[in-house]
Amino acid sequence: MVGYKGTIGILTGGGDVPGLNPAIRAVTVRAIRDGYRVIGIKRGWAGLVDLVRDVQADNRAHFEILSEDVVTRAGRRGGTFLHTSRTRPSHLPKEAVPEHLRDKYTDDVNDATQTVLENLEYLGIDYLIPIGGDDTLSYAARLHEEKVKVVAIPKTMDNDVPGTDYCIGFSTCVSRTVEFTNALRTSAGSHERFLVIEVFGRYAGFTALLPAMAGAADRCVIPEYPFDMEHLAELLVYDRNRNPSNYSVVLVSEGAVPSGGEMQFESDEADQYGHRKLGGIGDRISAELRHLSVRYNSGRRVNVINQRLGYLVRCGDPDALDSTVPMAYGNMAFDLILQGISGRLVCVRHGLYNNVPLDLVIDGKKKVDIERYYNIDRLRPVFHSLQNRPAFIVTSDL
């Protein structure tokens, strides 16, 4: 575009986390000062599907031209001021097709990638910076295959994007989990109960493991290892009897599975990435612990405080790490653009800022190394042999 060195598009997809706005700010401020135009695409990939290519159309709900003032104000807050969605343009259900495209996409599930490509061209976007987890970034990898210049930034509280030690939102999630778990201890101790806290973590248990390592819980159960319910009850009774206030705490990943069981879902409805909404494993564990406690507590039942933290750990302002890492990621993404490099994911790798091929995000899942970090007999973290291990107890390798 005349008057600019180029145009950069930026979007956020999937769940919100603290740290998204600082990343948007970092890219935008640096780019504008270097002579680029920055377009904020709204509601993730939905903005690039729903946009109407007509100068007379009102597209304010789909994109906006970003300024330093806008991103500086937003950068102090959590969430994403560009909004977000779980839209997957390559698997767009008929009911999600915008009205102006209903004659074009008539199948039950549609691939609207051609429309996305046309809308990127209409906006004059030279480089696209998507910020998201492996779902959002898997579609970014698809666009890279379509010759779109993409530089991606990893975001997810679960910290499970392959290729990076750290994803935006993880530190704040761990900090909040520790904070709320410690706050709930007063009630657990007052009533001499088990405290069962369900946290995020569909396939990876980092959001339960790290708070447990920080002392927030006696035990944790994670998706990587099917746990035995009776053994958990026995361990929690043991912990409770050794506690002067007669309570014990277990952190439960939402994707944790009891031996011989299956994941717990709120409903059968799946999103466009094929994921059903998890929820309920904490309820199930709580009910069974109450029943099983009689067996291990000399015939006396132990009642349970059951709490799902949910959005409490993803709302509000970012902590220090989720304010500084997004700054670094945003600047690294722009550095790659200046070098004419695309198809990359900025990352922390082996403790150092770096970048890796974007297609790593579709090569597998990053999970807890249970042999190294999880004691399957005691259902808690391993605290020894941390010398030369990654700072976040997470490796970037698959």
Which of 5-9, 233-237, 364-368, 393-397 comes out lowest in average pLDDT? 393-397
In this predicted structure, the answer to whether residue 306 has a pLDDT above a threshold of 90 is yes
387 part of a folded domain: no
Output the pLDDT for position 395. Answer: 62
Task: Indicate the residue type of 382.
Answer: V
Band (1; pLDDT cuts 50, 70, 90):
low
Based on the domain organization, do 131 and 196 belong to the same domain?
A: no
Active site residue 218: no
CATH at 351: 3.40.50.450
Statement: residue 275 has pLDDT above 90: no
> Can you say whether the dihedral through the CA atoms of 75, 76, 79, 82 is positive or negative?
negative
Neighbours of 69 (CB within 10 A): 8
Span 7-55, pLDDT tens digits? 999 999 999 999 999 999 999 999 999 999 999 999 999 999 999 999 9
Q: Is residue 395 assigned to a domain?
A: no
Q: Are residues 52 and 133 in the same domain?
A: yes
Other C-beta atoms closer than 10 Å to the C-beta of 33 total 9
Burial class (CB in 10 A: 0-12, 13-18, 19+), 208: buried
Radius of gyration of the chain from Cα atoms? 23
- Domain holding 301, by residue range, is 171-313+369-381
Return mean pLDDT, the chain. 94
Is residue 180 a part of any domain in this protein? yes
Shared domain check, 141 and 23: yes
Binned at pLDDT 50, 70 and 90, residue 384 comes out as confident
What are the pLDDT digits (tens) for 186-195? 999 999 999 9
Nearest Cα residue to 79 out of 18, 154, 159: 18
Pair 276, 356 in one domain: no
The verdict on 130 and 241 lying in the same domain is no
Domain-located, residue 397: no
The verdict on 95 and 181 lying in the same domain is: no
Cβ of 138: how many Cβ atoms within 10 Å?
A: 17
Let me know if residue 77 belongs to a domain. Answer: yes
pLDDT of residue 397: 60
Task: Please tell me the distance from the alpha carbon of residue 150 to that of residue 141, in angstroms, as a whole number.
Answer: 8
Tell me, what DSSP letter sits at residue 226? P
Task: Tell me what pLDDT residue 266 has.
Answer: 78
Mean pLDDT of 71-81: 92
* Tens digits of residue pLDDT in 103-137: 999 999 999 999 999 999 999 999 999 999 999 99
Give the pLDDT mean for 65-70. 96
The residue annotated as part of the active site, out of 158, 239, 322, 359, is 158
Of 89, 61, 67, residue with least CA distance to 148? 89
Kindly indicate the confidence band of residue 394, based on its pLDDT and cuts at 50, 70 and 90.
low
Q: What pLDDT is attached to residue 135?
A: 93
pLDDT digits (tens, 9 = 90+) for 229-266: 999 999 999 999 999 999 999 999 999 999 988 887 77
| 398 within some domain | no
155 and 46 fall within a common domain: yes
Q: The domain spanning residue 375 has which CATH number?
A: 3.40.50.460
CA dihedral (242, 245, 246, 247) positive or negative: negative
115 within a domain of the structure (yes/no): yes
Does residue 247 contact residue 192 with C-beta atoms inside 8 Å? Answer: yes
What the block records as the tokens of 318 is: 């970012």
The backbone torsions φ and ψ at residue 394, rounded to the nearest 5 degrees and listed phi first, read -140, 135
Same domain, 196 and 332: no
Q: Which of 31-35, 369-373, 381-385 has the lowest mean pLDDT?
A: 381-385
Mean predicted confidence (pLDDT) in 323-347: 97
Let me know whether 134 and 38 are in one domain.
yes
Angle between helices 206-213 and 170-191 (to 10 degrees): 60
Regarding whether 345 and 246 lie in a shared domain, the answer is no
Residue type, 81: F
Q: Which amino acid is at 251?
A: L
Number of domains making up the chain: 2
Indicate if the pLDDT at residue 159 is higher than 70.
yes
The residue ranking higher by pLDDT, 2 or 199, is: 199
Kindly state whether residues 186 and 155 are assigned to the same domain.
no
20 and 145 belong to one structural domain: yes
Say if 390 falls within a structural domain.
Answer: no
